[in-house]
Structure 1
Amino acid sequence: MAQRAGVSKAAASKVLNGVQDFSARPETRLRIMEAAEALGYRPHVAARALATSNGRTVALLVPKLTDLAAVTIARGAFERAAERGYVLVMSEDFDEHSAMSAFRDLVHGGRVDGLIVASSRPEHKLIAVLAESTIPHVFLDRAVPGTGRNVVLDVAGSSRLALRHLAGLGHRDVAHIAGPPGITPSDDRARAFTESALAHGLTVCHVEHAEPTEAGGAEAAAAIIGAGRATAVYASSLAQAIGAVHAAHEAGLAVPDALSVIGNDDFPIAAYLTPPLTTIAMPLWELGRYGADAIIDQLEGTAPADVVIPTEPTLVVRGSTGPPGSR
């Protein structure tokens, strides 16, 4: 490419990578850019970051790398960061020690310019450390009240959709499998579930808090089934909903004839289960993109602000919900 433009490799590299203190005539820059376009050249974002004094690198801290929601969020964040010339790295916050270790390595080690935290929990030491830190950061999905730098989904809207669907099917006694208490999306979703049920004239028989896993959903659903009233369950994660269907089968209840089940979040596996799961699809990919924009905007001089993703949840109706039956 440098040969095609009639310049040195060093000059071509500096122009393409936007080196600010490199002086070149406008016609030289034009030749380089035309040569790059003709040859289909695209600069390697990671290489560019490593070669500059500003690393242009941000980190995303997620609860579990195995979680489908976290992976989807990360894909959106990675893509948006790359579009804006930044590198995104990921770290898992499976406990407080791992989170603090990642913070020290990434931030104090000067490896990243900003931090996207998608794993905040009540009393997590990282929250207090960030409050005293100068590192630009945002809280993604799990809001930290009062920080003014939260990027979140309309989780209350997901509960309203679920209850509207169940009420339309004729259910009157409903239950909710929430996430762990104290985590904002879990609390907000559970609160909206109760409020929306009352608005539709439904009775909330049970609210069970559980980990967002298949095992957590199965255990919570077993407690709900044991109480003997609910004809429908709304779970706060797809994994919990899968566990709830399993618990229903173990109890000899047909889904949806004896118990309807709705899961939150929609992934391809939901369509291939028996029965296929009705879900509330959340804009997780868009959430990742908004999170990347929020941290990069901070790095480029914009003050932090709370953001609610404008994309609304959508209901995906499949075979796991129906009118109340024999239960």
Structure 2
Amino acid sequence: MSELSEPPVSGTPVRARLVDVAREAGVSKATVSKVLNGRTDLSVRPETRQRVHQVAEALGYRPHSGARALAGASTHALALLVPALANPTYVTIARGAYRRARELGYLSLLAEDFDGQEADEAFNDLAREGRVDGLLIASARPGHPLIEGLRRSSVPHVFLNRAVEGSGRNVTMDVARASVTALDHLHGLGHRAVGHIAGPYGIVPSQVREQAFLRHAAELGMSATPVAHGDFTEEGGQAAALELLDPGATGTPASGPPVTALYASSLAQAIGAMRAVRSLGLRIPEDISLVGNDDLPVAAYLSPPLTTVAMPLYELGTAAVDALVGAINGQPQADVVVPTEPRLVLRDSTASPGGSS
């Protein structure tokens, strides 16, 4: 093998080509292509494979996406973008996506959409440069630059748990039914004043859940249904619960009778609401009943164990991978709603007003 060429001192850097790797490694272009694409049906010595990879890395060689497409090459990798790894909801979704991807012969990579990250460029580059075959996007807030970039892109992609209107590639759950399930339970226990801890403004699933909450509460004839918004975190849930339970302390005028129950949009918010209830000297469920959205194992180990509305998070991840792999294989895309309905997981955090079960 010859010594690696020195990079140009001035001018525009020249992108390393397949022929450059072949020349430096002392093998044919066909051998380089097959080695870098992971072909195992070649009679190539291990040391030759290692040399090809070393040269490619030293030269900074990256396969051209157009060449990959013409060759019909596939990385058999998918990338999943989530808004926050700290949110356990997305851990369950990611697990479903990862396992389904493995069943279909793909690897699922995970990325977090940090505030200020140039996600439209970084995430799209994964596909444009041939490093992944498609994108699973769970972070698609209104105005996100990634959405506009994907409208101009041919990269296969789907949106999950974040419907983008008109995209025709949304994979979602029946989040409206979650509010109906929670309210039916609380109404059946005798609660007529129920507060809702909603998610941040501008998040579509949160908006749908809130609208369904208000609509169904009106259908049930509830006397008070105040709503407070907060992040999908323990801190967000605590602040929103204090706003609903002690409006005077937060400078919010009281309206209607005090609530006897709370319905939180996420498990993390519900945990924060538990702390808020106790900070006011109130008890769960004797004074305030509490229902959390999403069911994860930790809910059963809280004090008291938390009543939740279980969402088909795992199924959402698998359905999104099915839809994306179908698109990669040329199948027509369409919106998908996971058929599994939300279900109530009854524990000890809810009771009739006054504390009787």
Equivalent in 183, 187, 192 of residue 163 of structure 1: 183
Aligned position for 1:199 = 219
> Which ranges in structure 2 are unaligned for 5 or more consecutive residues?
1-33, 43-71, 248-256
Equivalent in 319, 327, 332 of residue 298 of structure 1: 327
CA contact (8 A) 2:214 2:225 kept: no
Q: Does residue 237 in structure 1 map to residue 257 in structure 2?
A: no
Q: CA deviation at 1:96?
A: 4.4
Once the two structures are superposed, residues 288-327 of structure 1 have per-residue CA deviations (whole angstroms, 9 ceiling, x without a partner) of 000000100000111111000000111011111111128x
Q: CA deviation at 1:121?
A: 0.4
Aligned position for 2:287 = 258
Identity of aligned residues (%): 54
CA distance in 1, matches of 2:75, 2:325: 12
Q: CA deviation at 1:98?
A: 4.6
- Pairing 1:115-154 to 2, within 5 Å after superposition: 115-154=135-174
* 3-state SS in 1 of match to 2:316: helix
Larger radius of gyration: 2
Aligned position for 1:92 = 112
CA contact (8 A) 2:217 2:225 kept: no
CA distance in 1, matches of 2:280, 2:348: 19
* Aligned pairs, number: 282
Q: Does residue 325 in structure 1 map to residue 344 in structure 2?
A: no
CA distance in 2, matches of 1:159, 1:102: 36
CA distance in 2, matches of 1:185, 1:169: 27
CA distance in 2, matches of 1:83, 1:174: 43
CA contact (8 A) 2:194 2:225 kept: yes
CA contact (8 A) 1:224 1:230 kept: yes
CA contact (8 A) 2:120 2:149 kept: no
CA distance in 2, matches of 1:123, 1:222: 30
Q: CA deviation at 1:200?
A: 1.2
| AA in 1 matched with 2:308 | T
Q: Structure 1 residues 105 and 133, CA, compared in 2 at 3 Å: closer, same or farther?
A: closer
Using the size of structure 2 for normalisation, the TM-score is: 0.75
Using the size of structure 1 for normalisation, the TM-score is: 0.82
Q: CA deviation at 1:199?
A: 1.3
* 3-state SS in 2 of match to 1:223: helix
| Structure 1 segments of 4+ aligned residues over 6 angstroms from their partners | none
CA contact (8 A) 1:264 1:279 kept: yes
Aligned position for 1:267 = 296
Q: Does residue 190 in structure 1 map to residue 210 in structure 2?
A: yes
CA distance in 1, matches of 2:344, 2:311: 9
Aligned position for 1:314 = 343
| AA in 1 matched with 2:318 | R
> Which ranges in structure 1 are unaligned for 5 or more consecutive residues?
1-13, 23-51
